[in-house]
Every structure is written in C-alpha cells, then in structure tokens.
Chains A and B, each alone.
Chain A
C-alpha cells in the first residue's frame, strides 16, 4: 500500500515538474544568508502546504534544551530533494542545516538534513530539482 502511495505521489510530483510552482513568501526578508548546522531530536514533522515544518529539540552546551522549528517548501517541491512524509519521526536524531531567522528566534529555513542512518536529504539551496522554484528568494 505504502509503495502504491509512493508511486502515486511520484506521479503527482512528476506531473508537477513541467509546471512552475507557487511561492508563498520570500526568504531574504526573514532569513540570514549564512547557514548553521544543528544536531537535535525530532519532535514532529508536519507534511503540509504551503510549507512543511520540522520541530526538533536542540541541547545547548549549557544543557538547556531549545525547541527549533524549521520550514521547507511545499511537499510537491521538496519531494524531488528526497523528503518524504515519513522522513522524520519523533525521537529521531537529526542534523539540520538551515538559514536562521533574522529575528533570532529558534526558527529557520531548512535546507538539508542528515538522518540517523546517515542519509542526507535536501540540498545547499533548499530548492527542488525538477520544476523547482522560479527565484532564489522564492520559498
């Protein structure tokens, strides 16, 4: 069943590929151009439009745990980057590369992630491959 759903979704992504995708908001206004990497534990993964959201806990050097929320693009865009609905499960150890929010809240634009088994998903630009976005600021 899961394989079938995967095939169906792959079709949907494939069909999407020839048609440009929408932009919800720009990146330059709210994110630093510099990237950081954070090691943490997944709390939730929301697979939804207009953006997917990864919530994860990061333990600082002082032992204090901070909850981070990072956004990606929409499912139809990030599928081609390796993301799936079940890419992250609560309790998973994950290393996330993101552009942090300019307002210094624990938010960021998720570019890529390394899963516990070493699998890397995403890319340095945080953009979909086939049929990707129409501009660097489009997310």
Chain B
C-alpha cells in the first residue's frame, strides 16, 4: 500500500516537473535572428497605429548613422546645408576639430569630446547610431539609445517645461542644474503624435551637436515630434532653437523609422577609453601624421 502511495507521489512529481518544463519552453525559443532593417509594410498589410503609443524597437539602417552630420543637413560644404550661425556659433564651429565632415582632421588632432568617452548629450544622441528602444507608461516615455547604453525620460504626466535659466533651469521655484539629457516634457497633440520639448542641456564647452563639430549650447530649446504613422512606422523630427548658436530655428531631423522585432537584443556599444588609447597609440597618431 505504502509503495503504491509513493508511486503515485512520484508520478505526480514527474507530471509537475514535466509541466514546469513545458511552461519554461512556452516563450520564444532562443535568441531571435535579427533581420535586415525592415522594409516598409505593404499598404494591404498595414496594421493601424495604436493610440498614444510610440513604444517599440525602431531603426533606420542608413539614415540613423548620420556620420556626415545631422540627418537633414550633412556637413558637405554646400551652402544649403550650412547652419544659420550667429558669429559666436561660427567661431565655435571653427574651433572644433572633427573626425567627420568635409573639413575633418585625423584622429590625433580631434577635440571631439566623444573620443574621450564623454557623454554625447542631447541632442547629439539623436544624431548618432539610431537604433532606439522606447518604453512608456502612463507617466513617461523612456528612450534607450544604443551608443554607450544611455537613456532619457520624457515626462508625459502634464508637468510644465522647466524655465530655462543661465546655467540651469527653474523647477517649482528652485534652481536645478544642467543635465546631459536636459529636462523633457511631452504632450499628445492627437492620438498618434507626441510633441516633446527639452531645455536645460549641457553647455557648448561640453557637447557638440554632431560628428562634424557643429556646436550647440545650453540655451537650446529642442522640439521633437514623434508621429506613429501605422503600427510599424514612426516619424521623428527635431527643430533646434538656440539663439546663442543659430540666428533662427534649424530643423535637423526628419527620419522615418521601421519597427524591428521587439525581442531583438541590441548589442551594447560602450565607449572604452582604453580601446581609444590603444588605437591612437598603435595607429591613429601615425595616420594623422603626428
């Protein structure tokens, strides 16, 4: 009788283990194989855009890199792509020795803060290696940038945009310091369009606008518009209003991103000072003629 009891117990345990094991395999099997940046979905296959959501993994393989400068205006020397610089903005630009653009220098001579692994800051993250992952809840939208694993928060809970001060911002009557990502608030202007305002970013001696050495200052007011065209397509634009650097607002981004498999695990890309140093000692200095 006793042995029969234990036999039943063993059978139950075995069944339980089997069941647990089965549950464990119910999720995705293995690591999803990333495909080439997804093409536009055919009209007939389009799914409607969700309301008030820009969450997902988004990419645009070619335009996301922006190696030649901000996506809408590559720094190629053409007049139409020149920023509307103030005299100070132009002076600042000329002091920057960039690794990209039509007047680029060799690796040994750059003063790009990026090669010291300084944070790029906003808005430069918007012009570097897009690929982004977006999460959101009822209070905020979080954007995760691939390069150096950086992230920012956009508050969508109705709080006002901080008042821009000299060297910081004012929130609830108190001074708050400048930040690499600034202070962002977002508002849904319709079911599928989120407009985001950002102020309080880092000053011009700490950050650049893009890889080609264009400057940006802490006086910039950034306006971004995210528009979900359908379930798999996200438009993202950016306008910079920086009276210290530009004589008028300058549109720098108008990119269409495709939804990627959300289960794809983005490869981390940390900036390593040691790797940069090794590269320069082994090669960068020589190829620069130093």
Contact = CB atoms under 8 A, between A and B. Distances in A.
A82 interface: no
Contacts of A71: 283, 287
A11 B99 CA distance: 30
Given A25-B104, A135-B67, A17 B35 contact: yes
A44 B261 CA distance: 39
A48 interface: yes
A103 interface: yes
Specify the main secondary structure of chain A where it touches its partner. loop
Instruction: Pick the most buried of A23, A105, A107, A131: most chain B CB atoms within 10 A of its CB.
Output: A23
A24 interface: yes
A56 B38 CA distance: 40
Nearest to A108: B287
Interface string B272-286: 100110110011001
B67 A138 contact: yes
A22 B34 contact: no
B128 interface: yes
Specify the main secondary structure of chain B where it touches its partner. loop
Contacts of B140: none
Nearest to A51: B279
Interface in A1-54: 11-12, 14-26, 28-30, 46, 48-51, 53
Interface string B256-268: 0000110011110
B31 interface: yes
B129 A19 contact: yes
Given A49-B275, A50-B275, A19 B266 contact: yes
Nearest to A46: B282
B59 interface: yes
B4 to A, nearest CB: 46
Interface string A84-119: 000000000000000001010101000000000000
Given A20-B130, A131-B61, A26 B104 contact: yes
Interface string B43-56: 00000000000000
Contacts of A135: 65, 67-68, 74
Nearest to A24: B99
A133 B65 contact: yes
A16 B288 contact: no
Contacts of B283: 51, 53, 69, 71, 107
Contacts of A26: 67-68, 99-101, 104
A131 B36 contact: yes
B226 interface: no
A97 to B, nearest CB: 17
A134 interface: yes
B209 to A, nearest CB: 15
Contacts of A138: 65, 67-68, 100
A18 B36 contact: yes
Nearest to A8: B31
B104 A134 contact: no
Given A50-B276, A105-B287, 13 more contacts: A12-B267, A18-B131, A19-B64, A20-B60, A28-B102, A29-B105, A30-B288, A50-B279, A53-B279, A103-B289, A107-B283, A134-B65, A137-B104
Closest 8 CB pairs of A and B: A134-B65, A138-B67, A25-B99, A19-B131, A29-B104, A23-B67, A20-B64, A103-B289
